[in-house]
């Protein structure tokens, strides 16, 4: 074979892995983009129900105290459901985990649509034990993004949160004012069904790397979703416990705000659903501005 032929063979061989790698990156980027869309839609439906629940609760005779109990119920349910859902996602993969979360959101809105008794408002909160679309989205983005770009990729989920907050609050306020709570809840259920279809169409069964999934699949399948040791094992890693505590402390004001704002808007300011939606949309704009600025400042520091 001529020297020219040898050179051609040598240069053509490395191009095949390079093409495969480029194609793999394109597929991952596509999945990440779809995850952003799913996250934005989920936050949209979440804030859409914020324009329904307070007004429906008032119609059903809830006072400030009982509405606080209702919101606390959600926190308690998700406190127990969150760790279990994370373990479930590790065992069964991103597609099944996100499908479960979106399906639970559909049930959540359907129960809200038929709620005609104070007890039904508590019952409709039960599916929140599995409604963890945003944490599952963070898992997928963390798995598929490159290490040096991971912080930037995760920060875009905060932008999705702001977009969903603006869209959901505005849309929910308009729908509730024009068509009532039942129609708005049904609209949320239909929107959640769209999110579920996106998950089934575009999200791969697993987003873990082939090596890690091959090594750990057999061991993971043998362990229960309710394995407390596996759930708490993460806390033993260096730096995890302080980060976890900071997350709790920093999230506490936001949680109190979400609970109290609906009460304040309804009882003190006497805001209508549409006005309440506009005000929440303003908070979403502030959220987006912060999400756009903080990652750049963090890299500079």
CATH number of the domain that 178 lies in? 1.20.1250.20
CA angle 239, 240, 242 (to 5 degrees): 70
Number of domains in the chain: 1
169 close to 278: Cβ distance less than 8 angstroms: yes
Residue with more model confidence, 6 or 46: 46
Query: pLDDT band at 69, cuts 50/70/90?
Result: confident
Which of 5-14, 31-40, 106-115, 150-159 has the weakest average pLDDT?
Answer: 5-14
pTM of the model as a whole: 0.81
What's residue 130's pLDDT? 93
137 close to 195: Cβ distance less than 8 angstroms: no
What's residue 270's pLDDT? 76
Structural domain boundaries, residue 192: 30-221+228-300
- Which residues, in sequence order, are CB contacts of 183 under 8 Å at separation 6+? 175
CA–CA gap between residue 218 and residue 210 (Å, rounded): 13
Residue 22 lies in a domain: no
Classify residue 223 as left (phi > 0), alpha (psi -120 to 50) or beta. beta
Per-position DSSP letters for 19-54, written without gaps between them: HHHHHHHHHHHHHHHHHHHHHHHHHHHHHHHHTTHH
Query: pLDDT band at 79, cuts 50/70/90?
Result: confident
Residue 7 lies in a domain: no
- The residue whose two tokens read 């091959």 is 214
145 close to 32: Cβ distance less than 8 angstroms: yes
Residue 232 lies in a domain: yes
Residue 39 lies in a domain: yes
Residue 6 lies in a domain: no
Residue 242 lies in a domain: yes
Q: For residue range 249-297, what is the model confidence (pLDDT) as tens digits?
A: 877 777 777 767 777 777 777 778 888 787 888 877 877 776 666 555 5
Tokens of 201: 């169409």
Residue 15 lies in a domain: no
Residue 96 lies in a domain: yes
């Amino acid at each position: 074979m001529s020297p020219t032929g040898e050179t051609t063979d040598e240069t053509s061989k490395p191009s095949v892995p390079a093409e495969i790698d480029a194609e793999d990156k394109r597929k991952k980027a596509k999945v990440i983009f779809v995850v952003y869309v799913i996250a934005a839609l989920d936050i949209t439906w979440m804030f859409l129900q914020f324009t329904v629940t307070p007004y429906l609760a008032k119609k059903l005779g809830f006072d400030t105290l009982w509405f606080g109990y209702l919101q606390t119920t959600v926190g308690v349910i998700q406190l127990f459901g969150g760790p279990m859902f994370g373990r479930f996602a590790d065992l069964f993969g991103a597609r099944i985990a996100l499908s479960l979360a979106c399906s639970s959101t559909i049930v959540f809105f359907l129960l809200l649509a038929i709620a005609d008794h104070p007890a039904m408002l508590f019952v409709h909160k039960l599916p929140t034990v599995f409604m963890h679309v945003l944490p599952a989205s963070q898992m997928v983005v963390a798995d598929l993004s490159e290490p040096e770009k991971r912080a930037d990729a995760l920060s875009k989920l905060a932008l999705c949160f702001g977009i969903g907050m603006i869209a959901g609050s505005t849309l929910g306020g308009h729908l509730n004012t024009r068509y009532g709570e039942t129609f708005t809840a049904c609209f949320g259920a239909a929107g959640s069904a769209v999110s579920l279809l996106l998950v089934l169409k575009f999200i791969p069964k697993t987003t873990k790397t082939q090596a890690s999934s091959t090594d750990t699949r057999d061991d993971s399948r043998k362990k229960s979703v309710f394995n407390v040791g596996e759930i708490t094992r993460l806390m033993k890693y260096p730096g995890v416990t302080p980060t976890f505590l900071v997350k709790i402390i920093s999230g506490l004001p936001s949680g109190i705000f979400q609970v109290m704002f609906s009460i304040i808007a309804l009882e003190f300011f006497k805001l209508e659903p549409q006005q309440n939606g506009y005000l929440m949309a303003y908070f979403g704009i502030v959220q987006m501005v912060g999400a756009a600025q903080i990652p750049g400042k963090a890299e500079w520091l």
